[in-house]
Structure formats: structure tokens, C-alpha cells
Amino acid sequence: MASDARGVGPSCIAALTLAAFLTLGAQAAQAQAWSTRAPILEAIQEVAVAELDGRVYLVGGLTGFDVSDRVEVWDPGSDSWSFAAPLPIPLHHTTATAVAGRLYVIGGWSDLFATPLAHVFVYDPGADSWSEKTAMPTARGSPAATALAGKIYVTGGDPGDTDFAVYDPVTDSWQTLPPMPTGRQHLGAAAAGGLVYAVGGRESLGAGEDNVDAVEAYDPQTGSWSALAALPLARSGLAVAAVSPYVPAF
């Protein structure tokens, strides 16, 4: 799913299908079967994907070399897509996470890998509107984020690929945390069992270059990182999901 300034990467449709599958519930998961759902409204890649209140949000991305502000929403009940209010600015390689009924979109690029951003935008589905919150301590493109105990942990990205910080939506404030041991971008993140996991990624913007197999976990109770068993295959631009008690990577 990754791309760089030298060429556009492969389609994110596979990631979209994965996100859709993960929302279908325990029955579909137990069946261990894939099924095709309605296609997205407009072909796009390098998107952020998150689930909020039972719907899947597809945020920003690239169409060719054009940066998008589009937000598409998939309703699994009707298997249909619709447009939500667009982002305040076009974004790609951003990250999206839902907390307390709101969708948070953090970091990314608004141009082709020249100007990383620290912006934090929050979407209110009831009002179908966006607002801006306190920016990250450091600007980063292609970071990874996950929610744990009502807070959002954002790790990695370019530049500052060891940067790690937590955002509290209640106080609209950030706290800088101990850096991630293995610096990387285009990584995946998930929270499970009270820990924040950073999975895979790569050391540079080049697609398929410098992939890492590192899997590391952060414990908010101790404020420390630990190294876990490495991925069987070094990879980047991957999708990671928490399915208790496991954290699978795809």
C-alpha cells in the first residue's frame, strides 16, 4: 500500500476489503471466509481507515498524484457507501482512530512527501463536521496510531521515526513518551491487553526498501518498551488489527 515520490504504490482496495471484513462480527470471523462487498465510490490509495460506531471511514489518500480531502463511509447494514464532510485540508499517509464517538485524523502529508504535518482534526458524525485540535509535538507523515483507555498513541513516521506521543481528547493535550526503540514509518499499530504494539514498517520512504521485522510493545503502566518476537517476514505498509488476545498483521 505504500508509495513514494518516484511512483504511486498499489491500490488500497485490499486494505479496504480487510477493514470491511473485520467489521462483520464474530459470526463471519468464525466462518473463516471472505466475501465481496460494495466497492468504494472513487478509486483511491494511501488512505487512512478506521471504524466508528459500526461504520468504516475511508479518509484522504491519493488519486494519481492528486491529494484528496474526501471521506467515504461504509455502512455494513446496507452494504453501501456515502460521502461525509471532506477533510479541512487534503491529506494522504495520515492516520485515523476513533475515541468516544469521534474520529481523529492525525499527521500525514498534504503534498508529495515534502511537508510532514502535525495537524489533529476531529470529526463529529452527528454534526457531519470537522474541527481542529492541538497539534502533535512533532510533524510526521505515515505514522501509526491506536487508541487505548480513551487516549490516542501515535508512533513512528517521517521524519522523527522514533517519535512517540499520546493525545488525551478530554484535555486536548499531548504528552511526549519514551521513543520507540526501532525507528520506522509505514508501520502498523494496535492496542491489546493494556499494551500498545508497533509492528513492522520501514526505515525510508522508498517503497519496499529497508523493511523491518521489528515488533515492539509499550506498557503505559511502566512507561517502557519491550521487544517481542519478530515478524516472519519484514514488511511495511501493512495493516494491523487487535483481535483479543492476539494482534494479527496482514
Query: How do residues 163-219 score in pLDDT, each as one tens digit?
Result: 999 999 999 999 999 999 999 999 999 999 999 999 999 998 776 679 999 999 999
Cell of 69: 480531502
Partner residues linked to 97 by β-bridges: 104
More confident residue, 31 or 184: 184
Cβ proximity of 181 and 215 under 8 Å? no
- Sign of CA pseudo-dihedral 153, 156, 157, 161: positive
Cβ proximity of 111 and 67 under 8 Å? yes
CA 72 – CA 42 distance, rounded (Å): 9
- How much is the average pLDDT of 106-129? 96
Cell of 20: 470491511
The CB-side HSE value for 106 (13 A sphere, CA atoms) comes to 34
What domains are there in the chain, each with its CATH number? 13-227 (2.120.10.80)
CA 160 – CA 141 distance, rounded (Å): 9
pTM of the model: 0.86
